[in-house]
Structure 1
């Protein structure tokens, strides 16, 4: 079971600060909803189990984008479909923006995701998630429209935390508290 990082946790403030500064100064994006969502995504994915939070009907971890989409499409429940599509958007944005060097491994020839274009699928999934009623619909629609820019922004956020002396160590200490 995934343990969420509470929004009051210092890690959220850390990611929010880095993301807000990077998106505003480097990309010219001063949208608090979008920046907050992207920063929240980073905090949500700190517990590595959250990256693969989608489960199939038998409770097994779903690790491939194609299987996550199948879970969304096969569900009769709108909330489940929305959550699966939103997660596919988050998953593809995370890997495309923060760890693009991992994409070849995630798309190995022996895997079903070999033919999945993570950027195109992320855009599509955010769009589909935005079509369901909800307060996050405008942010999800913007993530769909500006997926590549947000992925680039996340790559800059990663560069910033890698440049910061001891930031990785501080994140570890924050998680232990």
Structure 2
């Protein structure tokens, strides 16, 4: 079984992302690493369903997350914490990129593709500007994630269709998590 703890899953996702980037002639090593890490982080289905930045509060959708951003700025709210906005925005960017890339058909069926792309670009742009203001090295990466959101989502879609096939990894090696089993079963 593929195990996140042993490092096999991160290496698998890095190899798949590297191959997809190569096939698509995308030359962006930092983005490659970020997307491989994104896949590793989202391999657990709980990562898709909850943003736990606010104490005792579970946020299950992009809209919930955007509303939570308003709460972290409301001075009369128990959730007042402007610093949490960056984490919430990054989660929105990551979630929308993962969903539009890996589960594109589902996002298309829900008719939220344009919305997810817009909010993903906006979220990464905010994170990039915050990182730039703090002179953080990741600022250009987040800016590229914003500017090239559709390209990176397309690379994830390509990786899933070409490399996340049932014949690519034997079923006995699939992780027990239902989300990961879905990736390989379709």
* CA 1:32–1:104: 2 relative to 1, 3 Å: closer
1:142 aligns with 2:136: no
Change (3 A) 1:168 1:39: farther
Q: How does 1:109-120 map to 2 (within 5 A)?
A: 117-120=115-118
CA contact 1:85–1:125 (8 Å) conserved in 2: yes
CA offsets per residue over residues 19-39 of structure 1, 9 Å max, x none? Answer: 01111222x112111000011
The answer to whether the 8 Å contact 2:124/2:142 transfers is: yes
Tell me, yes or no, if structure 1 residue 90 matches structure 2 residue 88.
no
* Aligned residue among 46, 60, 68 for 1:49: 46
Aligned residues: CA RMSD: 2.7
> Counterpart in 1 of 2:23?
25
Aligned positions of 1:1-177 closer than 5 A: 5-6=4-5, 9-26=7-24, 28-55=25-52, 57=54, 59-76=56-73, 77-103=81-107, 117-133=115-131, 134-163=136-165, 165-167=167-169, 169=171, 170-172=173-175
**Local SS of the residue matching 1:132:** helix
Aligned pair count reads 163
Q: Which runs of 4+ in 1 moved over 4 A?
A: 104-107
- Where does structure 1 lack aligned partners over 5 or more consecutive residues? 108-113
Q: TM-score, normalised by structure 1?
A: 0.79
Cα distance in 2, alignment partners of residues 49 and 70 from structure 1: 20
Structure 2: which 5+ runs fail to align? 74-80, 181-186
